[in-house]
Amino acid sequence: MPTRTVAVASAVGLHARPAAVFVSAVIDSGLDVSVALGSGEAVDAGSILDVMALGARHADVVTLSADGDGAAVVLDSLVALLSRDLDAE
């Protein structure tokens, strides 16, 4: 199962709009993706409630994991997404 780590670039972290944009991209990928804050427990990245409950703030490092065909490509695109300030766009 491929994994990637990325620091959350959004000024407000993974809350409200940035979380919604991220979750939407996960759902659109069609893969089961999980996200974990630091060394914490991984949660379903396709669930807005789970993602917001992580409490990931600006510059916190999260780990993404996915399983399925094209998982590495999907993870790369999600890393690129989280590397931008999604609240400023």
Among this protein's residues, is 15 annotated catalytic?
A: yes
At 1, list the tokens.
Answer: 């199962």
Instruction: Give the CA angle between residues 73, 38, 57 to the nearest 5°.
Output: 90
Burial class of 20 by CB neighbour count within 10 A (0 to 12, 13 to 18, 19+): middle
Residue tagged active-site, from 15, 32, 44, 47: 15
Which residues participate in catalysis according to the annotation?
15
